[in-house]
Chain A
Amino acid sequence: MSESTWSPSSIETDRRAFRRSRTVRSAAVSAVSTVVVLGVLGWLITHSAGWPRVQETFFSWDKAVESFPAVLKGLWLNIRLMVVCGLSILVLGLTLAIMRTLRGPIFFPLRLLATVYVDLFRGLPLLLLLLLLGLGVPALRLPNVPTELVFWGAVAIILSYSAYVAEVFRAGIESVHPSQRAASRALGLSNGQTLRHVVLPQAVRRVAPPLMNDFVSLQKDSGLIAVLGAIDAIRAAQIETATDFNYTPYVVAGVLFLCLTIPMARLTDRVARKQGWHGAGGTL
C-alpha cells in the first residue's frame, strides 16, 4: 500500500550504514585472521628442518601420478560397497528402529529381537565380524552359499552398521512429540499410516546429519574388508608404498575419499534446505 511512498528515514539509513559497516568489519577480521593463521602454519611447516624429507615421503607428485590408477581402481570397490551396503543399512536400520519402537505386548518378540540384534552387532568389533563371516562361513562349505570374500565382507559391514543406524533412527522417531502422533491418530490414520506419513518424515529429517556421519564413516570402514584380501583404495595404496616406503599413495587415497564425502555432505544440506527441512543441516 504505502510501499511506493515509503523511504527509509535518516535514522534508519544511519542504522543500516552502521550494520553494513559492522558486517564489513567482521568479514575483514575473519578474512585477515584466517589468512594469518594459515600463513603462519604454512610457514612453520614448510620451513621446518625435516620438511624436504616429509614432502618427498608424503607429497611426491611423481609418486602420486604413478600410484593414481591403482588407487582409483581400488576406490571403485569402495564405491560399490558403499552404495550396496549404504542402501541395505538404511533399510535394515529403519526396520530395526521401527521394531524397537512398536508398543504393546504383542510386539514383545519383535522388540526383543531388535534389541538383542542391536546390542550384539553394535558391541562386536567390526574386524571380528569380518573375519568370522569372511573366513569362517566359506570354510563351512555349505552348499548353495556364496563363498566370495567381498560378499561376506559386505554382509559383516551391513550387520554392524545397521545396528548403529537403527539407534540413530530410533532417536529420531522418539524425538517426534507425542502430540503429532495424537493429531494424526485423531484424523483416523492408522498406527502404520501415522508412522509412514507423520512420524518418519519428521524423524528422518532430524537425524539426517548423524546419518551422514555414519555414511562418511562407512566409506572409510568399507576398506576394512581388505583384511579378507580384497583390494580397496587403502589396500591398493599400501601395495604401492611397499616398493619404496613412499607414503604418497595414502595421501592420494585420502584426497579421493574427500572428493567423495564433501560433495555428498553438501548435497544432503541442499536437499534438506530445498525440502524446507529446517535444522537438518548446517549452512556452509
Chain B
Amino acid sequence: MTGQPALEAPLLSVRGLRKSFGDNVVLDDVDLDVQPGECVVLIGASGSGKSTLLRCINLLEQVDDGVITLAGLDITDPRVDADEVRSRTGIVFQAYNLFPHLTVLDNVTLAPRRVHKVARAEAESRALAMLERVGLAEKARARPDDLSGGQQQRVAIARAMVNSPQLLLLDEVTSALDPELVGEVLDLLGELREEGMTMILSTHEMGFARNVADTVCFLDGGRVLEQGPPAEVLGAPREPRTRQFLSRLVS
C-alpha cells in the first residue's frame, strides 16, 4: 500500500487505532507504518482526525483500541513509562505552546536539563547550536511574546529537536502563519527531512506535501482513505472523496 517496499522494520507502526471522544469516533481503525527517515504527511479536512492521531502517537491521548509500536516497543501498553516514550518523540503544536515565562533559551533547555539531566552549560551550548540551526541564535535571551509567529514556531521546532528525538510530530505547524513565515518554517522542515529526520506532519500546504513527503495519507472521518507516494495521492487520487478534497483546495 505504501508504494515503497518496506525493507527494514518500521520505526513506528500503528495498527487498528481507535479513539473516540464520547460518541464522536475521531479515529476508526487507523493503520500506518513509518520507516526510519521517512516523511509522512497527513492531509484531510479539519476534524478528520489528523491532530488526534499525532496526539495518540505522543501518548497525549489514551487510545480506545489498537496498538502503536515505536522502535519495537508497544507504547500503548499501560505498563510502559509514558514519559520515557515522550522523551524520545518530539511534537510541535499549531499554536507553538512556548512557555511565556521562560526565555527562548530556557524554553529549549528545559527538557534537556530536567528530563535528560544534561548539565546547564552543555544544555545551553546544545540549545544555542539548535537555535543557530533554526536561525534564531540572536534571540536566545528574548521572551516568546517578543517574537513573530514564524520565529516562535521555529523556537518550538528547536525545542522539540534539541533532544534528538527518534520521531518528530508536527501538527499543522504553519496554520497560524502568514505566507512569508510559512516559507521560513517549511524551509527548515525541508532541511530536517534532508538530514534524515523521521517526521509525521499534518498540513494544508499541498505544495509542501508534494515536495517533502515520501508518503501522503488522506484522512477522512477518522479513517485513512488513501495513502501512497505524493504523485499518486495528490496527482492521481483513486478515491472520489480525495479528489473532491483536493479540488476544493486548488480552486
Contacts and interface: CB of A to CB of B under 8 A. Distances in A.
**A and B bind:** yes
B76 A3 contact: no
Contact of A18 (B16, B79, B221): B79
Contacts of A3: 20, 23, 25
Contacts, number: 29
A9 to B, nearest CB: 6
Contacts of B67: 11
A9 B78 contact: no
Given A9-B16, A18-B78, A19-B78, A1 B28 contact: yes
Given A6-B65, A12-B65, A15-B76, 16 more contacts: A1-B28, A1-B221, A2-B25, A2-B29, A3-B20, A8-B64, A9-B16, A9-B65, A9-B66, A11-B65, A11-B66, A12-B64, A12-B66, A15-B77, A18-B78, A18-B79
A8 B28 contact: no
Interface string A1-40: 1110010110110010011001000000000000000000
Contact of A8 (B23, B65, B79): B65
A18 B79 CA distance: 8
A19 to B, nearest CB: 5
Interface string B65-104: 1110000000011110000000000000000000000000
Contacts of B221: 1
Contacts of A9: 16, 65-66
17 contacts: A1-B25, A2-B28, A3-B20, A3-B23, A6-B18, A8-B65, A9-B65, A9-B66, A11-B65, A11-B67, A12-B64, A15-B76, A15-B77, A18-B78, A18-B79, A19-B78, A22-B78
A95 B237 CA distance: 63
B78 A15 contact: yes
Contacts of A18: 78-79
Contacts of B28: 1-2
A2 B223 CA distance: 11
A15 B20 CA distance: 17
Nearest to A22: B78
Nearest to A12: B65
Nearest to A19: B78
Contacts of B29: 2
Contacts of A6: 18, 65
B142 to A, nearest CB: 17
Interface string B147-188: 000000000000000000000000000000000000000000
A12 B66 CA distance: 7
A8 B78 CA distance: 16
Contacts of B16: 9
Interface string B55-70: 0000000001111000
Contacts of A8: 64-65
B29 to A, nearest CB: 8
Interface string B199-226: 0000000000000000000000100000
Report the 9 A-B pairs with minimum CB-CB distance, sorted nearest first: A12-B65, A18-B78, A19-B78, A15-B78, A8-B65, A9-B65, A2-B28, A11-B67, A3-B25
Nearest to A16: B78
A19 B63 CA distance: 13
A2 B18 CA distance: 11
Contacts of A1: 25, 28, 221
Interface in B14-32: 16, 18, 20, 23, 25, 28-29
A103 B134 CA distance: 38
A11 B16 CA distance: 11
B27 to A, nearest CB: 11
A19 B76 CA distance: 12
A151 to B, nearest CB: 46
A60 to B, nearest CB: 53
Interface in A66-83: none
B229 to A, nearest CB: 29
A141 B217 CA distance: 86
A4 B149 CA distance: 44
Nearest to A8: B65
A12 B20 CA distance: 14
Candidate in B20, B25, B65, B77 with the most chain A CB atoms within 10 angstroms? B65
Contacts of B66: 9, 11-12
Contacts of A22: 78
Contacts of B23: 3
